[in-house]
Amino acid sequence: MIIVASLSQFIQEYFFNNQPGYNIVNTLFFGLILGLTVLTIIKMFKWIDKDPKEFLIPLVPFIFLGSSTRALVDIFVYPFNLLLVTPGIYIITGFITIFTIIGAVYIEQQTGRDYRYIIFFTGLVLCIPNLINLQSFNWVAFSAVIIIWAAFTLCFFMLGKKWDLLQDKFNLSVLSAHLFDASSTFIAVDFYGYWEQHVLPGALISRLGTAAIMFPLKITVILAAIYLIDFYIEDKTVRNVLKLSIFILGLAPGLRNLLSLSMGT
């Protein structure tokens, strides 16, 4: 009984009392779950025999679904519930996405219809309730994020004309997703009094007094990750699943930040 009580106290302290924040313990745990999920997704893509790169655009509505649901919890349109906050909402969205992918590939095999369109429009339909519930926007905050993100992305697009690593539009999209996340974090923290929930970025922002550190941090880490993936992983499916996963890890929190900021200020 003592062990059960101690375990219950541990879970309560490190996972539930910190919702929706993060600490070292739950960050490591969620990282482990993410790693296992990526391995499962690699097997799924090998099974359906599709290139993960082709899913970049079709999956955007599903990313919006998870992020907008989380944002609507932030502004109290949806109730605070463990299934509607991180990681619950992303686990649920992930399962919905996987079942949709498998179903779309099956429909393509039976009818010849392009599975990418099936996935994309299914995601759009699922987003309708969230789109209806979106609140009035702070267009100043929204525009500031978009302008900064577009400026950084344009710089790397131009750089890509001379740098092989970014000539690949998939690589540029992965980096751009994280520049979007950095832009939304910078505007939210530095100008609207929000705070960074993740452990390492939060510590750096607190120490330096500005979320502008997110730009060099994201650029360095993401470019290094893309380089290592491209030059050291030969299996195309594994390579592109890793890139797709990194893309989602940038776009999902970026969208959540942007929507929460725009609707909550």
- pLDDT tens per residue across span 225-262: 999 999 999 999 999 999 999 999 999 999 999 999 99
> Per-residue confidence at 195, pLDDT binned at 50, 70, 90?
confident
Averaged pLDDT of the chain? 89
SS3 call for 18: coil
Distance CA 223, CA 155 (A): 14
- pLDDT tens per residue across span 64-109: 999 999 999 988 899 988 777 777 788 899 999 999 999 999 999 9
The alpha-helical segments, DSSP class H, found in the chain are: 2-11, 24-48, 60-74, 88-111, 115-133, 139-159, 164-167, 169-192, 199-208, 214-232, 236-264
Contact assessment for residue 243 and residue 252, using Cβ atoms and an 8 Å cutoff: no
Read off the pTM: 0.89
Closest CA to 91 of 60, 69, 64, 66: 66
Domain spans, the chain? 22-264
SS3 call for 79: coil
- Give the Cβ contact number of residue 197 at 10 Å: 17
